[in-house]
Structure formats: structure tokens, C-alpha cells
Chains A and B, each alone.
Chain A
Amino acid sequence: MTTVPTPSLAGEADLSPEPRHLAGLGAVAPALALLALFFVIPVVALLLRSVLEPQPGLQNYAEVFGSTTYLKVFGNTFLVAGLVTLVTLLLAFPVAWFLAVAPRRWSTLLFGVIVLSMWTNLLARTYAWMVLLQGTGIINRMLMQIGVISEPLSLINNLVGVTIGMTYIMLPFMILPLHATIRTLDPTVFQAASLCGASRFQVFRLVFAPLVASGVAAGVLMVFVMSLGYFVTPALLGGTSNMMLAELIAQLVQSLLNWGLAGAAALVLLVVTLAIYAVQFRYFGFGGGEAR
């Protein structure tokens, strides 16, 4: 990472605000230009479409907020994203812990497995889950053969299927920031806490939890926000009553060509996402493995 050199506190007073401001801008201008070209302009165009098509006015927003269908799809989107984030966190924590404390050979191997799964084609992984989870799939057949169940469980085309498939895909995005935080923890800090008389629970609550909070926040944010916009996996593993917003937007854009409505829905999602980022930034800074 290259950073713009920041002047020392003493030097800062010597510079008038304006040139310093411009010097910073000059260095990031190419990045800003790219961002403007590929992000800001399309988003503004979408915003314009949402208030201009099919005729000027706020009718697209009225439709998004006034229709039970869209509200239900919004609800689904947040429910799925929240559920996936929670399950991912619960599963990723022990893995990240193990990665941090395991002998190097084991952690390298496990890292390899995690990263390899990320490199495999998303569609292939989703189809694999479809084959595993369906009524005639391996999991149901196995459970039936050993006599745990007599009827196949419905593991697919519903919330269960979406949660399993998406959790699997999101795991690395939770494990990596958690691992980065846990790795930097100094075990002697916990010993010190115990020596000073803290119970195990107190060590966890007062020492451990605050230290890993930024890693958890970074992982949770990343997984939640990515889940909000997820498309392929819910479309294939979910039922129609679990439709998520991204799928609906894709339909509006690609098939129904109703770009005004798609723009309104997309902007609502974008605003919510930015709001979540703002909350994260307010409480945890930009997060990641670094200590605050």
C-alpha cells in the first residue's frame, strides 16, 4: 500500500490549506477518474432513470415502497443476509482460531483448502450444492439409509438451501479478517488478566472480545454487504418465495426492461449499504486486522 506522506504536525501549520488539499487530489486523480467513470456516472445515471422513467416523478419509489411484493423481497434480502452472516461467524470463528494456533504445516494446508474453494467457479459450486441437497441427493439418501429420517428433508428451494449455499461461499470472507486479528493477539495478555484475578468469562468479555471486535466487525460487514447483493446462489438454491433483491433487479433490467423501477430498487439497496458502512466506520474505523 502506498500512502500519501502526511506532513508532521509541526510542518502542517506552515502550509496554507488550499495547496495541500490540491496536492492530495493530484495524487489520487487517476483513481478518482476511474471511480467517476465506472461508478459515480453509472450510479447517477441510474438515479436519474429512477426519477425520469417512464415519466418524471417519484412513482418508481412509490411503487417500491408501496408494493407488498417489493417490501417482502427487501425483507427476504435482509433476513437471508443476516442469517448467513450469523452462521458464517459461528462457523468461521473456530476455523480462524485453529488457523492462528495450529502448527504451520496444518494451517498452510487449511489455508490452501479455503483459498482453493474461492477459486472454483461459483456456478459449479452452487450446482454441486444443488446435487448434494436435493430430495434424491447424497445427503438425504445417506440419512435415509442409516435410518435417521424416513422422508427426505427439504434442504433446497427454501431458506435452508440458500443459507447453506451462501454460508459456504461467504466463509473465506469471514475467516480471513478474523484470522488476521486473532493472529496478532498476544497470549501473555490473557495470562496477565488471569493472574490479576479475572475469571475465564471475564477474560473473554473484558480482554478477548474487545481485542477481536474490529476483526469481527470487518468480517461481519463484508459478509453482510456481499450477501445483500447476492444473485446466483439464492436464485438456484432458493424457492421463489425467498427471492432476493438482486434477482428481482436483474429481472427488471434484463427481461422486463423496466429500468426506472430497477433503478429505484437498486438505489434503495445502495443507500442501505452505505448507511451500514457509515455505522461501521463510526464505531470501528475502516476495520480489518489492524488495531484501532
Chain B
Amino acid sequence: MKACTLIAASMLAISAALSGVGSASAQDSMVFTSWGGTTQEAQKKAWAEPFTASSGIAVKQDGPTDYGKFKAMVESGNVAWDVVDVEGDFAVAAAKAGLLEPLDPALTGSGELDPRFSSAHHVGSFYYSFVLGFNKAKLGGKEPKVWADLFDTKAFPGKRTFYKWSAPGVLEIALLADGVKPDKLYPLDLDRAFKKLDTIKPNIVWWSGGAQSQQLLASGEAPLGMFWNGRIFAIQAENPQVGLSWEENLTAADVLVIPKGAKNKAAAMKFLAAASSAQGQADMAVKTGYAPTNLKSAALMDPKVAATLPDKFTTSQINLDMAYWAANRDEIGKRWYEWQAK
């Protein structure tokens, strides 16, 4: 009996101490969570530092974003994050599942934000394209142009690299390469996509993170593949042999959300306004090579930089359908891992 009381008492004490840590945070601070690496560094420089200077609200950085942790925090009611950078389809699914705070309508309804990347529960963080990237030096000077070239191992021998996880992108590329018209992509014909991928499966090297994708391309381990355009932008600065094709570039955005029950909601809302403002988005774009999600940002940018961003290649651009993915992610994920493990 005594021992049980002791155990219960110590557990109570510990859990009280733990929950105290969360609620003790001051009102003039908030926590921003993103994916780490160069992107979060840019977000810190472009948004957090100027925001702290103008509002006096300290922004603590945390990360990487982890949807499992996100869900656990909201469910347990102990939310340590105030603003989180997430992928578009997660935001759509999370809003539906009640994991997000609705945003200030004055912010989302301002008319400045690209409607593709904002909703009542999220604003665009930055918008990127999946592009075809290649290393000219390793391809004998030949330049692949369209997604079908990734599947043509005769014309372009060697490994090609694709994004490893079940997420918008790879399946769309397989279907486009197989001749599906961009406006007929959705709903995805999964059988056809996997069949197309089967044709080059032994030649695929998978990348699971941006740094790995850059390493594969720069070293020539995989002389061509699909990449986030910002990662190509970063290696082009050092390696002029690296090129990219904007043909049928596939667009999606990371978005910023406030988890339901966030402790510093008011500060978070102000932060979102600053991050999605014309200036905040312009500063972010210049630092990363990703496009601004604020329609008024372009005017604030150096035209030379603006010309290299995904929003300049809209004629050949295809939007990844986040609503479709949000609704079908489970089923696609199952098929995806089944196919990969085969």
C-alpha cells in the first residue's frame, strides 16, 4: 500500500512539474516550428528576427516538424508549438480533423495571398516546385527536358533519384511521363503510375531529405531526378554543371498553421501576419529560391532574382492537388509502401 502511494505521489509530482514548464512561458514569446536546415534558417532571418524587433515578441525556434508530435500535443492539450510549418495536404487533413485553430479572417481574406495556398486555417509559407534537375557533366552534355526523360534509360543511362516517401509528386510525374494530360491527372490512376515506375525501379535511388538529394546530384551518383527547385538553386550557385527544366513543374506549398490549443495564440496570429506579408514573403523568397505566396511580393524584389522563382514558370506549371491527397493519403501510402517493399 505504502509503495503504491509513493509511486502515485511521485508520478503526480513529476507530471505537475512537467506541465508547469509549458504554462510558465511568458506572454511575450512564442514557439515557431519548421523543418530545420537552410529553410528554417531563412525563415528565422526573414520573419522571426524582424518580427521580434518590431513587436518585442521573442520567437523561439523548434523542430523538425513532426505530425505525430503535432497530433499528440493537440490531443493531450499540452501544445508547445504556436506556429508550425507543414505540408499543404497535412493542413487540409488536419483542419478537417479539428487539429487547427481557425485564423483571423482579416488575414486570410486580405486578397493579398495566393488563393491556391491559403484557407481559413492556413497561410502559405513558401511555394516550391518539383523540377527535373540534372548534372550536365555526368550526362555527356545531354540535357533532359521532360518527365518522360527520367524514364528513358536508353537516352539517359544511369541512376535517377526520386522523393522516397509517399507524398504528392512521384506518382504525378510517372503519369505525366506516361502521357496523361495535366488536366486529367486527378484522381490519380495508381495502377498506371506504379506500372510506369516498375519500368525503371532498379534504376531509382531514393532521396529522403533535401541535403541527400543535393549530394546525389552533385556527386553524379544520380545524374538526374526530381528535386525541390530551391535545392537546385542552392547547388547551382557553386556548380554550373547543374541544370534544371521547368517543363511541367509541379507546384505545392508549405503552409503555416496554428495548432488547436496553442498557448500564445495572439502572438502567433501576429507572427502569421508578418510572415505572410508582402515584405516577409519577398525576403523569404530571396533567401531560398522558393516563390512568395503573397501576390504583392514580386514588386518588392530584385527582378533578377524574381525571374528564377517558380511563380515565373506558371505557363508550364501544374498544381499538385492537396485536397485529393488529403482525402486519399492513407490508401496511397499503403499501396506506396507495398510497392516499394516488393
Closest to B335 in A: A69
Closest to B212 in A: A236
Looking at the assembled complex, report how far the CB atom of B282 sits from the nearest CB atom of chain A, in whole angstroms: 31
- Say if the beta carbon of B215 comes within 8 Å of chain A: yes
Q: What residues on B are CB-neighbors of A135 within 8 Å?
A: 159, 221
Task: Check A33 against B10 for contact (C-beta < 8 Å).
Answer: yes
Q: Give complex CA distance A134, B212 in Å.
A: 12
Closest to A27 in B: B3
Most chain A beta-carbon neighbours within 10 Å: one of B2, B3, B164, B340: B3
Task: Check B329 against A241 for contact (C-beta < 8 Å).
Answer: no
Task: Check B68 against A254 for contact (C-beta < 8 Å).
Answer: yes
- Say if the beta carbon of A32 comes within 8 Å of chain B: yes
Q: Give complex CA distance A26, B4 in Å.
A: 9
Task: Check A29 against B7 for contact (C-beta < 8 Å).
Answer: yes
For chain A, residues 112 to 153, give those with C-beta under 8 angstroms from any C-beta of chain B: 127, 130-131, 134-137
- Say if the beta carbon of A37 comes within 8 Å of chain B: yes
Task: Check A29 against B205 for contact (C-beta < 8 Å).
Answer: no
Given A255-B166, A255-B333, A256-B333, residue A36 in contact with residue B11 (CB < 8 A):
yes
Given A253-B68, A257-B67, residue A26 in contact with residue B3 (CB < 8 A):
yes
Q: What residues on B are CB-neighbors of A259 within 8 Å?
A: 68, 71
Q: Give complex CA distance A241, B206 in Å.
A: 11
User: A1-41, CB under 8 A of B: which get 1 and which 0?
Assistant: 00000000000000000000010011001101110110000
- Say if the beta carbon of B324 comes within 8 Å of chain A: no
Q: Give complex CA distance A22, B4 in Å.
A: 10
Q: Give complex CA distance A130, B161 in Å.
A: 15
- Residue pairs across A and B with CB atoms within 8 Å: the count is 87
Q: What residues on A are CB-neighbors of B330 within 8 Å?
A: 256, 258
Chain B facing A: main interface SS: helix
Given A26-B2, A254-B66, residue A73 in contact with residue B341 (CB < 8 A):
yes
Size band of the interface chain B makes with A: 20 to 34
- Say if the beta carbon of B243 comes within 8 Å of chain A: no
Q: What residues on B are CB-neighbors of A256 within 8 Å?
A: 166, 329-330, 333
Given A33-B10, A257-B68, residue A251 in contact with residue B337 (CB < 8 A):
yes
Given A37-B11, A136-B220, A256-B329, residue A236 in contact with residue B340 (CB < 8 A):
no
Closest to B93 in A: A257
* Cβ-defined partner of A33 (8 Å) among B11, B68, B206: B11
Looking at the assembled complex, report how far the CB atom of B221 sits from the nearest CB atom of chain A, in whole angstroms: 5
Q: Give complex CA distance A255, B166 in Å.
A: 9
- Say if the beta carbon of A270 comes within 8 Å of chain B: no
- Say if the beta carbon of A183 comes within 8 Å of chain B: no
Q: Give complex CA distance A36, B220 in Å.
A: 50
Q: Give complex CA distance A271, B164 in Å.
A: 29
Size band of the interface chain A makes with B: 35 or more
- Say if the beta carbon of A184 comes within 8 Å of chain B: no
- Say if the beta carbon of A243 comes within 8 Å of chain B: yes
For chain A, residues 233 to 254, give those with C-beta under 8 angstroms from any C-beta of chain B: 235-236, 239-241, 243, 248, 251, 253-254
Looking at the assembled complex, report how far the CB atom of B91 sits from the nearest CB atom of chain A, in whole angstroms: 13
- Say if the beta carbon of A85 comes within 8 Å of chain B: no
Given A22-B2, A248-B337, residue A240 in contact with residue B11 (CB < 8 A):
no
Looking at the assembled complex, report how far the CB atom of B332 sits from the nearest CB atom of chain A, in whole angstroms: 10
Task: Check A134 against B71 for contact (C-beta < 8 Å).
Answer: no
Q: What residues on A are CB-neighbors of B329 within 8 Å?
A: 256
- Say if the beta carbon of A188 comes within 8 Å of chain B: no
Closest to A38 in B: B14
For chain B, residues 301 to 342, give those with C-beta under 8 angstroms from any C-beta of chain A: 329-330, 333-334, 337-338, 340-342
- Say if the beta carbon of B165 comes within 8 Å of chain A: yes
Q: Give complex CA distance A255, B336 in Å.
A: 13
Q: Give complex CA distance A69, B334 in Å.
A: 9
Closest to B164 in A: A240
Task: Check B205 against A67 for contact (C-beta < 8 Å).
Answer: no
Most chain A beta-carbon neighbours within 10 Å: one of B215, B221, B333, B334: B221
Closest to A71 in B: B341
Q: What residues on A are CB-neighbors of B220 within 8 Å?
A: 136
Q: What residues on A are CB-neighbors of B342 within 8 Å?
A: 241
Given A29-B10, A255-B165, residue A131 in contact with residue B338 (CB < 8 A):
no
Give 7 closest A-B pairs by Cβ, nearest first: A240-B340, A25-B3, A33-B10, A253-B68, A69-B338, A29-B6, A254-B68
For this complex, 10 residue pairs linking A to B, each with C-beta atoms less than 8 Å apart, are A29-B3, A29-B7, A72-B341, A135-B221, A157-B205, A235-B208, A240-B206, A241-B340, A256-B329, A257-B71
